[in-house]
Chain A
Amino acid sequence: MNLKTKYMGLELNSPLLVSSNPLSEKLDNIKLMEDHGAGAVVMFSLFEEQIRQENALFDYVTETHAESFAEALSYFPPLEDYKMGSSRYLELIRQASEAVDIPIIGSLNGITQEGWISYAKEMEEAGASGVELNIYFIPSDPSLDGRGVEQRYLDILKAVKSAVSIPVALKLNPYFSSMAHMAQQLDQAGADALVLFNRFYEPDINIDRLELENSLDLSGSSEVRLPLLWLGVLFGKVDASLAATTGVHSARDMIKYLLAGADVTMTASSLLKHGIRHLRRMLVDLEFWMEARNITSLSEMRGILSRQRVEDPVAYERANYIKILGGYRA
Chain B
Amino acid sequence: MTDKPIVATLDGNEACAYVAYRVNEVCAIYPITPSSPMAEHADQWAAKGVQNIWGNIPEIVEMQSEAGAAGAVHGALQAGALTTTFTASQGLMLMLPNMYKIAGELTSAVIHVAARSLAAQALSIFGDHADVMAARTTGFALLASANNQEAHDLALVAQAATLKARIPFIHFFDGFRTSHEVNKVFLLSDAQIRAMIDDELVHAHRARALNPDRPFIRGTAQNPDVYFQGRETVNPFYDVVPEIVADTMAQFGQLTGREYKPFDYYGHPEAERVMVLMASGADTAVETAEYLAAQGEKVGVIKVRLYRPFSMKHMLEVLPASCKSIAVLDRTKEPGAPGEPLYLDLVNGLAEAFTEGTLASLPRIVGGRYGLSSKEFTPAMVKAVFDLLTAPKPRNHFTVGIQDDVSHSSIDYDASFTILADDETRALFYGLGADGTVGANKNSIKIIGENTDMFAQGYFVYDSKKSGSQTISHLRFGPRPIFKPYLVESASFIACHQFNFVRKTNVLKLASEGATFLLNSPYGVEETWDNLPRPIQREILEKKLKLYVINATDVALEAGMGRRINTIMQTCFFALSGVLPREEAIKAIKKAIEKTYFAKGKAIIEKNFQAVDMTLDNLHEVPVPNALTSKEEFLPVVAPGAPEFVREVTAKMMAGEGDELPVSKIPVDGTYPSGTTKWEKRNIADFIPVWESDICIQCGNCSFVCPHSVIRAKFYNEKNLEGAPAEFPSAEVSARGFPETRYTLQIYAEDCTGCGLCVEACPAKSLKEPNKKAINLHKKTDELIETGREHVSFFEKLPLNDRAQVDFSSVRGAQFLEPLFEFSGACAGCGETPYVRLLSQLFGDRLIVANATGCSSIYGGNLPTTPWTTNAEGRGPAWSNSLFEDNAEFGMGMRISADKHLRMAYELLDALQDQIGAELVQQIKEAPQLTETQIRDQRIRVATLKTALLKLDTPEARSLLTVSDHLVRRSIWLLGGDGWAYDIGSSGVDHVLASGRDINVLVLDTEVYSNTGGQMSKATPTAATAKFAAAGKRVGKKDLALQAMSYGNVYVAQVAMGANPQQTLLAMREAEAYPGPSLILAYSHCIAHGFPMERGLDQQALSVASGYWPLLRYNPVLRRKGYNPFVLDSPRPRIKLRDYAYNEMRYKILTRTHPGEAERLMRLAQELVDQRWATYEEMATRKAEAFTPVG
Contacts and interface: CB of A to CB of B under 8 A. Distances in A.
Nearest to A87: B1152
A69 B438 CA distance: 11
Given A82-B1149, A83-B1152, A85-B1152, A75 B462 contact: no
Interface in B904-936: none
B1148 interface: yes
A72 B436 contact: no
Given A63-B564, A67-B439, A52 B603 contact: yes
A209 B1028 CA distance: 44
A210 interface: yes
Given A61-B1145, A85-B1152, A69 B604 contact: no
B719 interface: no
Interface string A35-59: 0000000000000000110111111
Given A70-B33, A77-B1026, A58 B1145 contact: yes
B1013 A70 contact: no
B1149 A72 contact: no
A66 B1145 CA distance: 15
A55 B460 CA distance: 28
A88 B434 contact: no
Contacts of A60: 562, 1092
A217 interface: no
Contacts of B1159: 26
A68 B44 contact: no
Contacts of A66: 436, 439
Interface stretch (B539-547, B792-800, B1083-1091): B1083-1091
B695 interface: no
A73 to B, nearest CB: 7
A77 B1151 contact: no
B370 to A, nearest CB: 21
Scoring A70, A81, A91 by chain B CB atoms within 10 A of each residue's CB, the highest score goes to: A70
Contacts of B601: 51-52, 55, 84-85
Contact of A55 (B37, B604, B1014): B604
A59 B597 contact: yes
Contacts of A51: 601
A64 interface: yes
Given A61-B1091, A76-B1088, A80-B599, A71 B1152 contact: no
Nearest to A73: B1013
B1148 A79 contact: no
Interface in B594-625: 597, 599-604
B827 interface: yes
B578 interface: no
Interface string B765-785: 101001000000000000000
Nearest to B767: A210
A63 B259 CA distance: 40
B1148 A64 contact: no
B433 A68 contact: yes
Nearest to B44: A78
B995 interface: no
Contacts of A80: 48, 599
B1013 A79 contact: no
B166 interface: no
Given A69-B466, A81-B48, A57 B433 contact: no
Nearest to B1088: A75
A70 B125 contact: yes
A211 B1155 contact: no
Contacts of A91: 1155
Contact of A67 (B36, B37, B471, B604): B471
A65 interface: yes
B1146 interface: yes
B1153 interface: yes
A61 B1087 contact: yes
A29 interface: no
Nearest to A209: B765
Contact of B599 (A73, A82, A114, A210): A82
Interface string B994-1011: 000000000000000011
A65 B1086 CA distance: 11
Contacts of B765: 209-210
Interface size class of A (residues with CB under 8 A): 35 or more
Contacts of A81: 48, 1153
B343 interface: no
A74 interface: yes
Contacts of A75: 1010, 1013-1014, 1087-1088, 1090
Nearest to A208: B765
Nearest to A51: B601
Contacts of B108: none
Contacts of A56: 603-604
A84 B767 CA distance: 43
Contacts of A57: 1090-1092, 1145
A82 B1152 contact: yes
B447 interface: no
A70 B176 contact: yes
A303 to B, nearest CB: 43
Contacts of B1030: 77
A72 B1014 contact: yes
B1145 A69 contact: no
B1155 A88 contact: yes
B1012 interface: yes
Contacts of B1012: 71-72
A67 B599 contact: no
A24 B460 CA distance: 49
Contacts of A54: 1148
A83 B1090 contact: no
Given A61-B1087, A84-B599, A67 B562 contact: no
A64 B125 contact: no
B834 to A, nearest CB: 19
B181 to A, nearest CB: 13
Interface in B1039-1092: 1087-1088, 1090-1092
B48 A71 contact: no
Interface in B423-461: 432-434, 436-439, 442, 460
B434 A65 contact: yes
Contacts of A67: 433, 436-439, 442, 460, 471
B1026 to A, nearest CB: 7
B1025 interface: yes
A62 B564 CA distance: 12
A68 B462 contact: yes
Given A75-B1014, A76-B1088, A69 B433 contact: yes
B236 to A, nearest CB: 43
Nearest to B564: A63
A61 B1027 contact: no
B433 A65 contact: yes
A165 to B, nearest CB: 24
A82 B1155 CA distance: 10
B528 interface: no
B828 to A, nearest CB: 10
Contacts of B1011: 71-72
B469 interface: yes
B1016 to A, nearest CB: 10
B599 A71 contact: no
Nearest to B1144: A61
Given A71-B1011, A77-B1029, A83-B599, 14 more contacts: A52-B603, A54-B1148, A55-B603, A57-B1091, A57-B1092, A61-B1087, A62-B1145, A67-B442, A69-B469, A72-B1012, A77-B43, A79-B1153, A80-B599, A82-B1152
29 contacts: A52-B601, A54-B1148, A55-B600, A55-B603, A57-B1145, A58-B599, A58-B1090, A58-B1148, A59-B597, A61-B1092, A61-B1145, A63-B439, A63-B564, A66-B439, A67-B436, A69-B462, A70-B125, A70-B176, A71-B125, A71-B1011, A74-B1013, A76-B1145, A76-B1146, A77-B40, A77-B1025, A80-B599, A81-B1153, A88-B1152, A210-B767
5 tightest CB-CB pairs across the interface, nearest first? Answer: A68-B433, A72-B1013, A67-B438, A55-B601, A77-B1030
